Amino acid sequence: MRRTIPIIKLRQNLIVSIQIEMTDRLVAELKENIAFEVRAREVSGLVIEVSAVDFLDSYIARSLQQIAKIAACMGVETILAGLDSAVAITLVEMGADMLGLETALDLEDAIDILEERQAESRSEEERVLAEIYAELEES
């Protein structure tokens, strides 16, 4: 399996930073690799960082959406971070639909959002488990 774009694990999240021009072949490879990593690693979030990308066509935009959906299938949520303003305008003008793909200002922001959610869900999980343990002890 080719690994042109590195996929990094940071605590509970995977980080993919795209620093090179995206081609159709590259985006297909990335899709495969992310699907594989999401399955193999114990993570609950994925950040795709695109601040260095100054061109996104509709095919690549749709592929990014697909990546997010695939990750969601495996219980991982995706945030697109650092979309360039020019790219954003182009996407809007093309009418490319980025709906369903959550975005954040930059990588830091994205990680913050994800970790906050993870902490929230963890604390709720702990509360529920505590309740259950208490109940089990009673019975």
Partner 1 sequence: MKVSDLDLRTMLSFDPEHGKVCLGEDRMLLFRQDALSVLRRLLNDQLGERLMRAILSQFGYRCGNGDYGTLSKSYDWETELDRMSAGPALHTWEGIVHVEPTFLEYDRDSGHFHMRGIWRNSYEAEIHREIFGLSDEPVCHSLTGYASGWCSAFFGKPLIAIETKCMGKGDERCEFEVRTPNAWGPEADAWKEALEQNDYSLSRELEAKIAVIQEQEMAISELNTPVMEIWDDILVLPIVGVVDTRRSMEIMNNLLESIEQTQSRCVIIDVTGVEVVDTKTADYLLKVMRAANLLGSRCVLTGLSSAIAQTLVEIGADLSEVRTLRNIKEGLKDCLKYLRLESREE
Which residues on adjacent β-strands are paired with residue 16? 7, 48
The CA-atom distances, in angstroms, between 75 and each of 18, 22, 35 are 23, 26, 12
Which residues bind to partner 1, rule: CB under 8 A?
31-32, 35-36, 38-39, 42, 44, 66, 69-76, 124-125, 128-129, 131-132
Q: Which is nearer to partner 1, 31 or 117 (CB)?
A: 31
Residues in the chain: 139
Query: Angle at CA 21, nearest 5°, toward 83 and 41?
Result: 70
Amino acid at 123: S
Closer residue to partner 1 in complex, CB, 21/124: 124
How far is C-alpha 93 from the chain's CA centre?
24
| Between 19 and 123, CB nearer to partner 1 | 123
CB of 135 to partner 1, least distance (A): 10
To the nearest whole angstrom, how small is the minimum distance from the Cβ of residue 83 to partner 1? Answer: 22
For the CB of residue 85, give the shortest distance to partner 1 in the complex, in Å. Answer: 29
